[in-house]
Amino acid sequence: MLGISAAAFGQCSDADKKALEAFDRAWGTAGETGDKAALMNIYADDYTGLPGMQNKAATIETTMKAFEDNKKNPHPDKVTHEHYYISCTPTTATITHRNTIWTADGTGGKPETFYTKSIHFLEKRGGKWQVVSNAGGNSLDDYGVLWYLEQDWNDAGVKRDKDWFEKNYASDFTSVSSRTGKLMNRAEDIADTVNDKGTPELNETTDMNIRIDGNTAIVTGIFRNKGKDDKGVAYDRKIRFTDTWVRRDGRWQAWATAGSEIK
């Protein structure tokens, strides 16, 4: 699903995508709050869940049981949904997103983070969207995890999200600036990003290739960075990059990055 073409996503207008994302998030909320009436409307009568081939009644029953169990024994785990990719026609839609699960007490009593991917298939019936099939909770392999982490990195750069960099940069992280050639350590790179006075508008990655050898991964591709500098002058740069990731403490961390601007 990560390889679905941009042309497929382009079938939907921005308004369509926003409405479908809102539908998906409302579906998640209905499950978390045990809203059976909402779930009855969300699932089509001929719904089939994959891979277990659960029907509508069984799926809602499982959801309600999980809700009741959690009421009796609340758990502090947190789940978020991000990186939505949505395609649609006037009567059909496919929604794909990543799920990030934070557990407060993982192996050895330490907090852990897990990633899965959900794929939902919808049809518009009687003027409203309904879920006709669902392949949820598919665990991401290391290639999928790294693909999404690169997207997170892009988003963090636009948002100047210092917390993300501090969490996901390894302690011995280094970078080489594609503009100045300056070598920076972890603290210097974070400060250079979050204190920049420009206004980033877009960070995106294309032509991504991921190679993994044990606990080390190399990601190459083309990074596009668009916005305005501190003087209000517009820029639109393309950079051929190499990112190095290392798996430590059970998770992938950015270890190094370097790039060369493409003229």
Instruction: Report d(CA 119, CA 144) in Å as an integer.
Output: 14
Give pTM, 2 decimals. 0.82
Least trusted range by pLDDT, from 68-77, 116-125, 182-191: 68-77
Give the DSSP letter of residue 40: H
pLDDT of residue 106: 60
Which of 61-70, 105-114, 180-189, 229-238 is the least confident region?
105-114
Tens-place pLDDT, residues 85-126: 999 999 999 999 999 988 876 666 677 888 999 999 999 999
Sign of CA dihedral 107, 140, 255, 101: negative
Domain 161-262, CATH among 3.20.20.330, 3.10.450.50, 3.30.365.10, 3.60.15.10: 3.10.450.50
Q: pLDDT tens digit string along 10-26?
A: 478 999 999 999 999 99
Give the per-residue pLDDT at 136.
76
Q: Among 1.20.120.530, 3.10.450.50, 3.40.50.300, 1.10.1130.10, what is the CATH number of 6-139? A: 3.10.450.50
The domains spanning 6-139 and 161-262 adopt the same CATH topology? yes
Percent of the chain whose pLDDT exceeds 70: 94
Residue 49, C-beta contacts closer than 8 angstroms, at least 6 positions apart: 55, 59, 133, 134, 135, 136
User: What span, in angstroms and rounded, lies between the C-alpha atoms of 150 and 207?
Assistant: 12
Note the pLDDT of residue 108. Answer: 62
Helix axes 14-33, 56-72, angle to 10 degrees: 60
For the chain, domain boundaries: 6-139, 161-262
Angle made by CA atoms 47, 53, 57, in degrees to the nearest 5: 50
pLDDT score, position 7: 40
Identify the three-state secondary structure at position 231. coil
Distance CA(63)–CA(70), nearest Å, equals: 11
What helix, strand, coil percent values describe the chain, rounded to 5?
30, 45, 20
Distance CA(30)–CA(63), nearest Å, equals 10
